[in-house]
């Protein structure tokens, strides 16, 4: 009991003495996720929620990523992840996921399955002091967008989302067809050596009139900052790629934003048409770009229009 009271008193003290400048602390935490990182991905199914379901083996992987601040207007911060695949000493750069953070944004997205996202509007009370995190896929198409809040207690800054829905992750998308979407609560915490992304996941079946959870899953991804000069040299190709293509990808973000922010109807697009994936065609367009040559915005809009439904 004494220990419990001591911990409660500590938490109360931390809250009482928290900085009044919440907005600045929020921004500093978001910007603290930029840099060069070695990453460990860990996902483990923890609870079977469907009769007869057997938990799958844990998933683990490692990667190296450069996370760049590519936009910062104060209340909007865009972080772009660039994945490095070091194939026999010949590094390849893959434009990976993006994070778009928006302060007091009243709009999020609910994934409905079948490549369909439904805009969701939040009340002024829900929105005040909150940040949305909009996570984009390789071609800047939607993956998920949730509203949440940062808390700052002592030396710990953590953003916690409202529960949101999203498509199957890549680790399951190509291997499994026994569930249809994830229901997730996200936590982003800033650490002394980088940051941690925790996910409380539930795998949901929504088909043939069924709506039931298959299992619960815990995700814990460590982003550890790289400071060694020799290791940082690995990211030189990523910097070069972004210098060449950043104008193009900004135009892609703008095109998607116009679609998502103005629509009151479900947003749906086809992943591939006549065997050609949007992801691949968008990457081909990016390859045409150079630091001096700009791809016409109309070309991007026309490509998206072919896949939208």
* pLDDT over 50 (residue 108): yes
Give residue 19's pLDDT: 46
- Terminal CA-to-CA distance of the chain, rounded, Å? 59
Q: Which residues pair with 221 in a beta bridge?
A: 41, 197
- Which sign, positive or negative, has the C-alpha torsion 173, 176, 180, 184? negative
Inter-residue contact 219 to 198 (CB < 8 Å): yes
Q: What is the mean pLDDT of residues 293-301?
A: 85
* Reported confidence tier of residue 6, pLDDT bands at 50, 70, 90: very low
Q: What is the mean pLDDT of residues 153-177?
A: 95
- Which sign, positive or negative, has the C-alpha torsion 15, 19, 24, 27? negative
Residue 113 falls in which region: left (phi positive, over 0), alpha (psi -120 to 50) or beta: left
Inter-residue contact 225 to 37 (CB < 8 Å): yes
37-89 pLDDT, tens digit per residue, is 999 999 999 999 999 999 999 999 999 999 999 999 999 999 999 999 976 66
* pLDDT over 80 (residue 232): yes
Inter-residue contact 196 to 189 (CB < 8 Å): yes
Give residue 295's pLDDT: 81
Give residue 88's pLDDT: 66
How many residues are given for the chain? Answer: 309
266-294 pLDDT, tens digit per residue, is 999 998 898 999 999 999 999 887 766 77
Inter-residue contact 267 to 142 (CB < 8 Å): yes
pTM: 0.91
Q: What is the mean pLDDT of residues 85-112?
A: 91
Give residue 9's pLDDT: 38
* pLDDT over 80 (residue 15): no
Q: Which domains does the chain have, with CATH numbers?
A: 21-228 (2.40.128)
Give residue 291's pLDDT: 62
Give residue 272's pLDDT: 87
Give residue 183's pLDDT: 98
Kindly report which listed range (21-30, 130-139, 174-183, 289-298) carries the lowest average pLDDT score.
289-298
Give residue 307's pLDDT: 95
Q: Among 28-32, 112-116, 205-209, which range has the highest average pLDDT?
A: 28-32
* pLDDT over 60 (residue 156): yes
From the centroid of its chain, how far is CA 282? 19
Q: What is the mean pLDDT of residues 229-240?
A: 94
Give residue 11's pLDDT: 41
Inter-residue contact 46 to 217 (CB < 8 Å): yes
Exposed/middle/buried for residue 7 (C-beta within 10 Å: 0-12, 13-18, 19+): exposed
Nearest to 297 by CA among 257, 262, 269, 240: 257
Higher-confidence position of 14 and 119: 119
Residue % of the chain over a pLDDT of 90 = 81
Higher-confidence position of 17 and 144: 144
């Amino acid at each position: 009991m004494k220990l419990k009271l001591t911990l409660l008193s500590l938490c109360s003290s931390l809250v009482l003495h928290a900085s009044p400048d919440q907005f600045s602390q929020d921004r500093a935490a978001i910007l603290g996720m930029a840099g060069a990182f070695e990453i460990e991905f860990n996902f483990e199914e923890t609870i079977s929620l469907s009769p007869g379901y057997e938990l799958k083996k844990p998933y683990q992987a490692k990667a190296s990523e450069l996370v760049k601040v590519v936009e910062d207007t104060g209340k909007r911060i865009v972080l772009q992840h660039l994945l490095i695949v070091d194939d026999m000493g010949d590094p390849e750069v893959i434009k990976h996921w993006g994070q778009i953070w928006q302060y007091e944004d009243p709009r999020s997205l609910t994934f409905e399955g079948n490549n369909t996202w439904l805009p969701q509007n939040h009340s002024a009370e829900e929105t005040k002091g909150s940040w949305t995190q909009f996570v984009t896929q390789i071609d800047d198409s939607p993956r998920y967008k949730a509203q949440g809040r940062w808390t700052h207690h002592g030396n710990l800054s953590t953003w916690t989302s409202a529960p949101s829905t999203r498509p199957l992750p890549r680790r399951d998308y190509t291997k499994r067809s026994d569930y249809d979407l994830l229901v997730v609560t996200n936590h982003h915490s800033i650490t002394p050596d980088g940051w941690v992304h925790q996910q409380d996941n539930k795998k949901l079946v929504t088909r043939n009139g069924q709506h039931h959870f298959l299992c619960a899953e815990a995700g814990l991804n460590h982003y550890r900052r790289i400071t060694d000069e020799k290791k940082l040299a690995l990211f030189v190709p990523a910097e070069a790629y972004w210098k060449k293509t950043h104008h193009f990808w900004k135009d892609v973000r703008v095109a998607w934003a116009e679609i998502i922010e103005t629509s009151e109807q479900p947003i749906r697009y086809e992943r591939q048409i006549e065997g050609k994936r949007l992801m691949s065609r968008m990457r081909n367009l990016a390859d045409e770009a150079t630091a001096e040559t700009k791809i016409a915005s109309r070309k991007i809009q026309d490509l998206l229009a072919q896949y939208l439904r």
